[in-house]
Amino acid sequence: MEPFDRYRDVIDDFEAFLAACERPLPMAVRVNTLKTTPERVTQAFDEAGIEYERADWHPLVMTVDTEKPGATWPGFHGWTTGQEEVSAIPPTVLDPQPGERVLDTCAAPGSKTTQLAAEMDDEGTLVANDNNLGRLSALRFNCERLGVTNVVVTNQDARSYSLKPFDGEEFDRVLVDAPCSCEGTIRKNPDALDNWNMGHVTSVAGIQKGILKRAVQMTRPGGTVVYSTCTFAPEENEAVLDHVIGEEDVSVVDYDLALDHEPGLTEWEDEEFDPQVAKAKRVYPHQNDTGGFFTAKLEVEA
């Protein structure tokens, strides 16, 4: 937990934060409304004797008392899919609508992609991109298992994503769930910090800036971009936002989140960020018994 010491002055109740990071993460699933309803899922869990608890903030997310939710009846039939609770935040904030053109820039293995498809009622065009060709098989498998048909899978570097195959037409909404140092996954990946170093943080932050900048450029005026990571590092969160809003015609906007959270940091070490970044939201493990996450909503200026 040594890399977390640098957050001691910015995390309220730091000892509770550390204690939460050392506890195993509760198993969570999301109900797939393309195939069923929450009521049918809870009935199936009741019949199987599997205990569950529905999330207060999201009607389709629940924690389940089983280590293998995919082996349950709902999991086997694609009624549910394993998805960490805070992982459901970015698609919820993006709020895609049926019939829209939506891009998921870093999509594999597809938990957020399939959530976006369900929110779109499987209507419109959902482009799921990932630069890792090997991970696309998992993305395709999950889309097929959950009954998603409106998805187009692409294999490009999101930093230089080409709209040429789409006749240059911009997207209504874009999700950038960026590759990161994954500090917030410590509860499900106890070895997440084994190879942690500032060099990696700095390197991945450069990639994140490139992806987010390109995402803004590909979004129509008035459209929405959501930026998220599963890390606590300000270099990968607020500093990335600060960089992109300083170079592109885009602003950070507020949104409602019915989970305990903290605002984005407006200063870190010797840096000060644009005050807009405070509208982003940081979710820490000890606040809601979840993993850690950072999510910001941006609006492209018309």
Amino acid at 73: W
Between CA 110 and CA 135 the distance in angstroms is 9
Between CA 208 and CA 214 the distance in angstroms is 10
**Is 182 designated active site?**
no
Q: Could you write out the DSSP letters of every residue in the chain?
A: -GGGGGGTTTSSSHHHHHHHHTSPPPPEEEE-TTT--HHHHHHHHHHHT--EEE-SS-TTEEEES-S-GGGSHHHHTTSEEE--GGGGHHHHHH---TT-EEEETT-TT-HHHHHHHHHTTT-SEEEEE-S-GGGHHHHHHHHHHTT--SEEEE---GGG---GGGTTPPEEEEEEE-----GGGTTT-TTTTTT--HHHHHHHHHHHHHHHHHHHHTEEEEEEEEEEES---TTTTHHHHHHHHHHSSEEEE-----S--EEPPSEETTEE--GGGGGSEEE-HHHHTS--EEEEEEEE--
Identify which of 131, 141, 145, 137 has the alpha carbon closest to the alpha carbon of residue 32.
Answer: 145
Catalytic residue among 106, 143, 182, 230: 230
Q: 178: left (phi > 0), else alpha (psi -120 to 50), else beta?
A: beta
- Which positions are annotated as active-site residues? 230
